[in-house]
Amino acid sequence: MQTATVVKHTGSHYLLSRLPEWELFPAVLRGRIRLGGSSATNPVAVGDHVTFDSGPGVPTLESPALITSVLPRKNYVIRKSANLSRQSHIIAANIDKAFIVVTLDFPEVKLPFLDRILVTCEVYDVHPVIVLNKIDLFREAYREQLDAFHAIYGSAGYHILEVSALTGEGIDVLRSECNASVCLFSGVSGVGKSSLIKALDPALDLRIGQISEAHLQGRHTTTFYEMYALASGGFIIDTPGIRGFGLVDIRPEEIALYFPEMLKASEDCRFTPCTHTHEPGCAVKAAVEAGTISAERYSSYLGMLEEGEKYR
């Protein structure tokens, strides 16, 4: 049995490599691979460890390797393919860290969107890091918003890196975080994911997008999910800009378990289980009123709870 890691997929065609070696070769699926119990539209994702068959010699475009199975995943990041759709899409698998790239403005960070990604990382055991890009633009002009952002997510226990792809601030720290790891870079269009990856390794050939001033959002530049090898060590997975992020396979009564600050506070709730919506003696609601849990995060929770109830 030969094994390799999926480093790129474009429809039904794939590139594989035997990590940590970086020697790419083409592959296709043998028949239709489906994962038991999965509703995902893509049975094979970037980062998957797969078994394959190949003839003598190195696989070529004319004679690609044949992917025969997907090995068990240690984790993955998944989202609904469309808003409130029942179909889902696996963004990447077997990830050491997920760098969620955001900006305070242009495009403005949407906290409910960010919170959905963070909850998904908690559910599927992926370590998230919030990367606040374009900090050179925001440190002074957006000081109040910057402090508020740190208060919301720092108090919730999340690690926040302030970086600038333009000036290079924080890039060395980000590069060291990627060393010896498989790291996912994700976020909405226009936040500068490709620019950050280019700053991490200038030798990489990634297309850089422009912001659409008419809609204050980015144009998609990354078309396919793809892994790259960094010259400094480690591997990064670049993704197309994401416009919507729906939760998958999480029951409404479980959602609060994946808000770290709410999980801690819920230990003092009068009732167990507690939905943290109407019960008397709810420690989570008391913490929101006291300001120790942010109202923004609680509002995101209520939105996810309402969305989850629609599918019960």
Average pLDDT over the chain, rounded to whole?
Answer: 87
Choice between 142 and 38, residue whose per-residue pLDDT is larger: 142
Provide, rounded to the nearest whole percent, the portion of the chain with pLDDT above 70.
87
- Check whether 193 has a pLDDT greater than 60: yes
Q: Going by C-beta distance under 8 Å and a sequence separation of 6 or more, which residues neighbour residue 268?
A: 283
Q: How far apart are CA 237 and CA 35, in angstroms?
A: 22
What is the bridge-based pairing of β-strands 226-229 and 235-238? antiparallel
Q: What CATH class is the domain 76-238?
A: alpha beta
User: Rounded to whole angstroms, how far apart are CA atoms 137 and 152?
Assistant: 20
Do the domains 76-238 and 2-70 match in fold?
no
CATH number of 2-70: 2.40.50.140
Tokens of 130: 């919030």
Res. 61: pLDDT tops 60 = yes
- Eight-state DSSP code of residue 241: P
Mean pLDDT of 257-264: 96
The CATH code of the domain at 252-309 is 1.10.40.50
**Per-residue pLDDT, 80:** 80
132 has which bridge partners? 102, 162
Provide the β-strand partners of residue 235.
182, 229
Least confident span in 180-189, 212-221, 239-248: 212-221
**Cα separation, 178 vs 98, whole angstroms:** 10
Q: What is the pLDDT of residue 117?
A: 93
CB atoms within 10 A of CB 176: 12
Which residues in the chain belong to E strands, given as ranges? 2-10, 13-17, 25-29, 49-53, 65-70, 76-80, 88-93, 97-102, 127-132, 160-162, 182-186, 211-212, 217-218, 226-229, 235-238
307 residue type, one letter: E
Q: Where are the domains of the chain?
A: 2-70, 76-238, 252-309
Q: Is the pLDDT of residue 297 over 70?
A: yes
Region 50-68: mean pLDDT is: 87
**Gap between the Cα atoms of 300 and 114, Å rounded:** 9
Chain segment 77-115, per-residue pLDDT in tens: 988 865 555 678 889 999 999 999 999 998 899 999 999
Which 3 state secondary structure label does DSSP give 176? helix
Is the per-residue pLDDT at 32 higher than 80?
no
* Closest to 172 in 3D by CA, of 240, 221, 230: 230
